[in-house]
Amino acid sequence: MVGRAYIRSWAGAVAAAVAISGAATAWAEASPPRAKVDGGVVVGKAQGPAAVFRSIPYAAPPIGPRRWKPPAPVIAWNGQRVADTPGPACMQTVPEGRPNGGGYMGPVSEDCLTLDVTAPVGLASAGHKAPVMVWIPGGGNLFGAANVPSYDAVNFARDGVIVVTMNYRLGALGFFAHPALTAEAPKDQGLVNYGLMDQIAVLKWVKRNIAAFGGDPGNVTLFGESAGGQDTLTLLSTPASHGLFQKAIVESGGGWEPPADLATREAQGADLATRLGLPGAKATPAQLRALPADKLMVSAGGMAEDGRLLTETPTQAFARGHALDVPLIIGSNSNEASLLGSFGLAATGDLPPDLKQVYAAEAPTDAELARVNFNDRFMGAPARWIAARASGGAPAWLYYFSYVPERQRQTRPGTNHASEIPFVFDSLDAVPGRTPQITPSERAIASAAHACWVGFAKTGAPACAGGLAWPAYDPATDQLMEFGNDGAAIRSHFRKPQLDAQEKAAAALLGAP
């Protein structure tokens, strides 16, 4: 149970952390903060306990001849670059007046390879080496941005942690294949997965530059949610990213991915070219790069094993023991099925009878079966499977986020996909319109989850505040941390019959040939 005593102990832990980091005296230092990075000097702004830098370029604009190529080195600027205002996100569809599927509502541009840094004020000048967290936004690799209200990282800075959030190429600009692009690329150059290449470029930028903000390039935690979680798993499975981060957190990132090959993605790319008025597979690179960017705000298929950057899926890498062996937190939410309609998976007729039988008591209707099956099949069971595979090396920790605000408990069956983010960031007050509704129990759960993430970034274990012990995952004990309506607590053999049945049903995929 997370209650008043927990909140008091957490407040004391925060005060101690601030005093140790030196941030308590640094907050009063002169602003605006500055840092010298690749390309030149950037000037940010002070925001409470944080030095915030927005829209720092980490690569050259991926436009014209650089479209559908690996990110190129950043272009230097003259003088000081003002970095106190958000820049445009990468190309995506943004509904008028409301957030899109990645939580973003703002301008977009093909010239978008920038990142934001939120750091404790004064760390660099004091010679500190703060832990660093690099956030990959979610949104299906179709939507999303570095600057979304729930990603406000000021409270991470308050607690002595630097957070980097990124923009990376999305949709058909970020994940695209075509025979002409394959033919023109050098044999050792990656294909298809340009958005993933951007993410690797961010990690390399962090390694070169984060010391300028007071960060430790040898203590980097990569974390992401939804597609960002899936991308984190992919980077754990990609040799090109090894050595660029030391820990990882996967929030609602799945883990069971069927392979997709280059030929399939090339066929999808040729089909898109045809739909946009070009001669399909015979279109030239010049013709493809001349297409208006706003015509390419679609999916052309997603990631693929190109045999260069990616040679296996995360499922295959974890099954074969090839994934990067680093401390890992992984988990899911109790109503991931809030996504169900967008997956087009409302029907349950394809479920084998023995799997249906496992859910008979808790899901007597097709609608209820569709919801609980989605939760377990696409998120809960894969997270447990990944934790089990990872537990043989560096420790892994499994969680389940089921807290629902009191005002929503009559209308929501659980915690919607992505709803844990403002709790993890402790950014409830940054979400527009939310502050007047925040209850003490919401703040307590935010303090609990945020403290665990901070502890993991600092020490490599979720050393949660207030003596809240979270055991590493062991398949024999099968324990996880639930962040629920009654507080944070350890559960043993959570949904074991259902998750075992899902794993059995996925056996062919998990053989990972």
**What's the residue count for the chain?**
513
List C-alpha distances in Å: 483 to 28, 102, 397, 402, 446: 36, 23, 13, 6, 9
Please classify residue 427 by burial: count the beta carbons closer than 10 Å to its beta carbon, then call 0-12 exposed, 13-18 middle and 19+ buried.
buried
Contact by Cβ (8 Å): 214, 128: yes
β-pairing, 162-166 with 130-136? parallel
**E strand residue ranges, 76-113:** 80-82, 89-90, 108-109
- From CA 488, how far away is CA 416, in angstroms rounded? 18
Residues assigned a catalytic role: 226, 336, 417
Please classify residue 337 by burial: count the beta carbons closer than 10 Å to its beta carbon, then call 0-12 exposed, 13-18 middle and 19+ buried.
buried
The CA angle 178-272-202, to the nearest 5 degrees, is 60
- Which residue is associated with the tokens 């946009």? 276
DSSP 8-state secondary structure symbol assigned to residue 380: I
β-pairing, 130-136 with 114-120? unpaired
- From CA 244, how far away is CA 237, in angstroms rounded? 13
